[in-house]
Amino acid sequence: MLAFIVDRGWQEPLSSWEDSLRPINVFGTVALICAAVFALGGWALGRMAASGLVMVLGACAVLSSAVAAASAPLWAAGTVLAAVLAAAEARSSSRQLTAIMQLAARLKDGTKVRVGPNALAAERRVLRRGRRFAITLLAVSIALWGLLWLEWSGAASQAPPSDARAFVPGAAPFAGGTTVLAVVSTIRVVWRWWAHRQMRGTVWAVPCPGGPVWVHPIPLRNAVINASDSENPECFCEAEADRRDAEGLAEWGDGMIPAQDYCPVHGIDVVNSLDHDAFRALAASRRAWLWDIDSTRPVLSGDPRSGTRDGLLAFAGHAFGGIPLLDRGGVMDAWGPRTETADERRTADGEIPHEAESDFLPPHQSGVLDVVDLAPAEMRGTAVRYRHGRAWYVP
């Protein structure tokens, strides 16, 4: 529908330089370019697409009726339709929040939970990031309009060019779109702030797989050892990592050190010389150095990293998905200060992405040493060992 309206075009081809400098035509150019960009990329705004559409079509409707263009009624009809869609979206969002608040009030049993510092830091970080993005977009759009005004006043003060082409400001393709994005982001940030404000201080006990949200898996590093594992006098992983990259260790974080391929304690030959029982025992104790850096790891039933989370802080529907919490000895905390909010699951999403589904294909079969069945250690799937690499997990 939008493309249909856009294709009509309401502006007469500009015949003269003077004509193209009139405000109605300068703003018209900006609005038309913006509408065309929106027709191509507006879907990316998701839930906010209708609000963006109201702004774009509304601007076109006002400008086209100002010049009494034939297509003015079409733009106006489009604006009304977009406004209806935006109102429906706003209504459904506010209904969702009301339903969540009512559910929270009904389920509250007065239990007090201690929330750890990582969760609070992650919550602040998510809210702050949205604010910063919206403010940046607002600043950029103000700058673009300033640039457009400079170009415009510059063009108005100079003599018309000899080839008699029309004036099109260089900032025109960006000014309108950035303004729409800035306003949409601001609305989104305000709504998120409001929804979060209603639910802050509430910890939900939510089954994440199969529940209303899905949680981004905790990033697991493979081919690493814990700093405490490097205390074995034969292990040279830490010394080697230090030698190769004196400052790089901090990047690994959380006391992790990359396992060296030839370490007599954590090397590839050690992985491959383990008998199957020893391999399974180490896999069950979640030794990251067994596995190739691109492989996934088997999931143990009852493992807090398996996708089952113990709680969600401040879940408020799609506006704020809540910070996933783990029970850490009486304190509910996020796994780290950079934990992302959980995502709302929609019925259209179908299967939930799962940690055990690898994005990577294992290496070529020719290097396979053997296959270790993980079932005896209560893990699903097998480990495939390679002559010149660490093991791959095959669910």
User: How would you write 254-300 as a 3-class SS string?
Assistant: CCEEECCCCCCCCCHHHHHHCCHHHHHHHHHCCCHHHECCCCCCCCE
In the bound state with Zn ion, the residue whose beta carbon lies nearer, of 101 and 265, is: 265
Q: Using CB under 5 A, which of the segments 72-80, 122-130, 164-172, 234-242 binds Zn ion? A: 234-242
Q: What is the nearest approach in angstroms of Zn ion to the Cβ of residue 252?
A: 14
* Helix 172-199 vs helix 117-157: crossing angle, to nearest 10: 160
Whole-number Å distance between alpha carbons of 135 and 83: 25
- State which residue, 83 or 265, has the beta carbon closest to Zn ion: 265
Indicate the residue type of 23: P
Pick 229 or 333: Cβ nearer Zn ion:
229
Q: Is 288 in the site for Zn ion (CB under 5 A)?
A: no
- Helix 23-41 / helix 49-66 crossing angle, nearest 10 deg: 150
Nearest approach in angstroms of CB 385 to Zn ion is 18
- Applying CB under 5 A, the span of 40-48, 90-98, 204-212, 256-264 interacting with Zn ion comes to 256-264
If the CB atoms of residues 53 and 223 are measured against Zn ion, the closer one turns out to be 223
Q: Is the dihedral of CA 206, 211, 216, 217 positive or negative?
A: positive
Q: Applying CB under 5 A, which of residues 266, 280, 385, 390 lies at the interface with Zn ion?
A: 266
DSSP class of residue 210 equals T
Rounded least distance, CB 300 to Zn ion, Å: 24
Looking at residue 102, what DSSP letter applies?
H
Q: Which residues pair with 389 in a beta bridge?
A: 386
Q: How far is the CB of 219 from Zn ion (least distance, A)?
A: 22
Q: Which of 265, 274, 356, 369 is the binder for Zn ion (CB under 5 A)?
A: 265
With CA atoms as reference, report the closest residue to 116 among 324, 370, 352.
324
Shortest Cβ 230–Zn ion spacing (Å): 6
Check residue 263 for interaction with Zn ion (CB under 5 A): yes
Q: Which is nearer to Zn ion, 81 or 265 (CB)?
A: 265
Asked whether the beta carbons of 214 and 344 are under 8 A apart, the reply is no
Per CB under 5 A, the segment of 62-70, 231-239, 296-304, 334-342 that binds Zn ion is 231-239
The DSSP result for 341-369, as a single string, is: PPEEP-GGG-SPP-TTS-SSPPPPGGGEE
Q: Which pair of tokens denotes residue 195?
A: 């929804």
Candidates 78-86, 104-112, 119-127, 257-265: pick the segment binding Zn ion (CB under 5 A): 257-265
Number of residues that bind Zn ion (CB under 5 A): 5
- Applying CB under 5 A, which of residues 26, 181, 183, 237 lies at the interface with Zn ion? 237
Residue with tokens 């050690």: 270
- CA distance linking residue 224 with residue 235, whole number of Å: 13
Q: How far is the CB of 279 from Zn ion (least distance, A)?
A: 17
DSSP string, 305-319: GGS--SEEES-BTBT
How many Å apart are CA 178 and CA 142, to the nearest integer?
A: 9
Decide if residue 213 touches Zn ion (CB under 5 A): no
Is 192 a residue that touches Zn ion (CB under 5 A)?
Answer: no
Nearer to Zn ion, 265 or 293 (CB): 265
Is residue 257 part of the contact set for Zn ion (CB under 5 A)?
A: no
Q: With respect to Zn ion, which residue has the nearer C-beta, 240 or 310?
A: 240
Amino acid at site 150: L
Site string for Zn ion, 348-367 (x = CB under 5 A): --------------------
Determine which residue in the list 235, 312, 332, 377 makes contact with Zn ion, applying CB under 5 A: 235
Buried residues in 283-298 as b, exposed as e (16+ CB within 10 A): bbeebbbbbbebbbbb
Instruction: For residue 369, give both structure tokens.
Output: 């040493």
From 19-27, 29-37, 148-156, 237-245, give the range in contact with Zn ion by CB under 5 A: 237-245
228/365 with CB nearer Zn ion: 228
C-alpha count within 13 angstroms, C-beta hemisphere, residue 174:
14
Q: Which is nearer to Zn ion, 108 or 243 (CB)?
A: 243
Binding site for Zn ion (CB under 5 A): 235, 237, 263, 265-266
